[in-house]
Amino acid sequence: MRFRNPEKRKTDFREVSLGLTQRQAVEEAGRCLQCKKPRCVAGCPVEIDIPQFISFVKEKDYPGGLKKIREFNMLPAICGRVCPQETQCQGKCILGKKSGPVSIGAIERFVADYAAASGQIELPDMKSPNSHKVAVIGSGPAGLTVAADLAKWGYDITVFEALHEPGGVLTYGIPEFRLPKKIIQREIEFVKNLGVKIRLNFLIGRTQTVEELFDEGYKAIFIGVGAGSPKFMGIPGENLNNVYFASEFLTRVNLMKAHKFPVYDTPVKKAKNVAVIGGGNVAMDSARTALRLGAERVFIVYRRTEKEMPSRHEEVENAKEEGIEFCFLSNPKEILGDEKGRVQALKCDRMALGEPDESGRRRPKRTGEDFILDVEQVIMAIGQTSNPILVRSIKRLKLWGEGYIKIDRDGRTNLKGIFAGGDISTGAATVISAMGAGKRAARAIDDFIMGKKGVSTRETGGGLSKG
Ligand code: FAD
Ligand code: SF4
């Protein structure tokens, strides 16, 4: 994969990775061994027929390759860019042990971008309309996948989205330099071309309730509202000025274009020295965004070591190349402020790794030493949790943990006609796992409405549906 020069790319928001050329894509496709029992397929949460789509690329039939991918995955240009391929499809590739795995994600991205650039985008086979209405709440990857699959099967789909732009985290969370907005718009346009309607600025639970949707004739409802509420550490100083929750910081820039203030009217603090707390994709995105806003030094503060970081490996490498500084085995214990209540420094414990915890990763423990980082901004990227607005508005809906919706394997909740999937049922996860949940829920909704086998076996608790 080709990348832009780090010194240049860290000064703007243009895409960092340039993708494969046509020649590289064909060469890379030629490395695929076309295994009889392909392990890569099992590694992909939506089970794309990877050897088949790659064989189309080998023959330079890119539209054929795209059509094959789209049988399983409606958003290939997005997944090709952001999937953690090293632990999914590519992590299982047999060539990984010898010469390195086939770059499946990069080929997927190439196929989607090539077809879009040459205008060769074909709609999939569609069933004739069946007039059954289904409401999808949330337009992130889970919601878009349910919507697209059901629309293909003839359903009348409306997606309700609280924000003024569709796409969920893809739009408001993942920065332009990793996932350009025009790519998301293109993929959403494709979903709309299947007949899906998207109603924006529509907060279900406030603008309208789930009961009212059933009263309007929706036969089933899918909840894919993600997990966008902030999590803080509970340390002194978190309420000082210039402490941000990562999603707020990223939303200000990605969605509200705060980096172009005052042309756009949302501001964001531009600091010289910034500490970002956390070790996942959200932390990496926040740090690299702060750098692009003009910070001189940006520190990632993470309590374990690089080996345990949950972020995609490629993004850690990109961040390092751009000059992000990593403070491993460091755990914040206080944010220090000045007399005006603004962040002045971050005090951290030095940590060491102990025995593995329930996640299998070695548990960090204090060494008794601490240190101070002089920073004027702190960004908390230690995870997100469920937003209570919608889930609390649905009586008798079964939840687990910090307010996540309890579902069975196929996305059925305990309430008749209500389905859920993605981050709101698993907690913060990945784009492709949300899409996998969307695919399973679409099949379950189809079964439910068409009265197919399996529907009557589930628990039906409150019985909201009029279907
Ligand atoms: P979301 O994408 O969160 O979408 C939910 C949508 O529902 C939102 O648009 C929200 O506005 C809307 N909504 C909420 N409440 C309501 C309501 N009451 N009424 C109407 N609409 C509502 N994953 C990867 O695989 N690779 C990555 O590189 C990666 N990077 C990430 C970077 C960041 C900064 C973040 C925050 C996450 C990242 N993830 C990544 C995780 C991934 O984006 C999520 O797991 C995925 O988007 C979850 O999809 P979803 O459809 O469940 O929810
Ligand atoms: Fe790999 Fe993601 Fe594509 Fe599946 S969707 S083949 S996991 S890049």
pLDDT score, position 460: 36
The chain-wide mean pLDDT, for the chain, equals 93
The answer to whether 295 touches 270, Cβ cutoff 8 Å, is yes
For residue 437, the SS3 value is helix
Among 39-43, 75-79, 95-99, 401-405, name the one with the lowest average pLDDT: 95-99
How far apart are the CA of 50 and the centre of ligand 2, in A? 8
- Smallest CA-to-CA distance from 221 within 423, 443, 445, 453 is with 445
Q: Are 264 and 253 in contact (CB under 8 A)?
A: no
Instruction: State residue 453's pLDDT score.
Output: 54
Average pLDDT over residues 206-215: 96
Do strands 2-3 and 156-160 pair parallel, antiparallel, or not at all (unpaired)? unpaired
Least confident range of 22-36, 115-129, 311-325: 115-129
Report which bound ligand comes closest to the CA of 204.
1
Please give the number of the atom of ligand 1 that sits closest to the Cα of 424.
Answer: 52
Answer whether 78 contacts ligand 1 (Cβ < 6 A): no
Selection from 290, 252, 79 nearest residue 173 by Cα: 252
CA 197 – ligand 2 centroid, Å: 27
Strand segments, DSSP code E, in 161-242 are 197-199, 218-223, 229-230
Q: Is the CB of 78 under 6 A from ligand 2?
A: no
Task: Calculate mean pLDDT across residues 338-343.
Answer: 97
Reply yes or no on domain 2-118 having CATH 1.10.1060.10: yes
Least Cα distance to 76 among 196, 198, 193, 183 occurs for: 183
Is 73 within 8 Å of 119 (Cβ atoms)?
Answer: no
Ligand 2 atom nearest to CA at 80: 8
Equal CATH topology for 133-228+386-457 and 232-384: yes
| pLDDT, tens digit, 9 for 90 and up, residues 268-314 | 999 999 999 999 999 999 999 999 999 999 999 999 999 999 998 88
Distance separating alpha carbons of residues 118 and 294, to the nearest angstrom? 37
Q: What are phi and psi of 235, to 5 degrees?
A: -105, 160
- Rounded to whole angstroms, the Cα distance separating 387 from 213 reads 20
- pLDDT tens by residue, 342-369: 999 999 999 999 988 887 888 999 999 9
The pLDDT of 207-214, averaged and rounded, is: 96
- Our mutation pick for probing the ligand 2 site, out of 108, 430, 431, counting the most ligand atoms within 8 A of Cβ, is 108
Distances in Å between the Cα of 400 and the Cα atoms of 359, 406, 457 are 18, 6, 21
331 alpha carbon to ligand 1 midpoint, in Å? 27
Q: Is the CB of 94 under 6 A from ligand 1?
A: no
Pocket test for ligand 2, best of 89, 92, 107, 435 (most atoms within 8 A of CB): 89
pLDDT digits 0-9 by tens, 97-131: 888 999 999 999 999 999 888 877 778 889 999 98
* Cβ of residue 137 lying under 6 Å from some atom of ligand 1: yes
Please check the confidence at residue 463 and state whether its pLDDT lies above 80: no
Averaged pLDDT, 63-88? 92
pLDDT value of residue 119: 78
**Within the chain, how many helices (H) and strands (E) appear?**
18, 19
pLDDT at position 466 over 90: no
The pLDDT value given to residue 182: 93
Q: Yes or no: say if 196 and 159 are a contact pair by the CB < 8 Å rule.
A: yes
Q: What percent of the chain has pLDDT over 90?
A: 87
pLDDT value at residue 180:
95
73 Cα nearest atom in ligand 2 = 5
What is the longest distance spanned by two Cα atoms in the chain? 68
Assess whether the C-beta atom of 79 lies below 6 angstroms from ligand 2: yes
- List Cα–Cα distances, 407 to 31, 130, 293, 411, 466, in angstroms: 40, 27, 41, 5, 20
| Ligand 1 touching residue 221 (CB < 6 A) | no
Distance separating alpha carbons of residues 366 and 157, to the nearest angstrom = 53
- Structure tokens given for 286: 């926040």
pLDDT at res. 33:
95
Ligand nearest to the CA of 430: 1
> Contact, 169 vs 179, CB < 8 A?
no
CATH classification code of 133-228+386-457 = 3.50.50.60
Q: Would you kindly state where each structural domain of the chain is located, as residue ranges?
A: 2-118, 133-228+386-457, 232-384
Q: What's the CATH architecture for 232-384?
A: 3-Layer(bba) Sandwich (3.50)
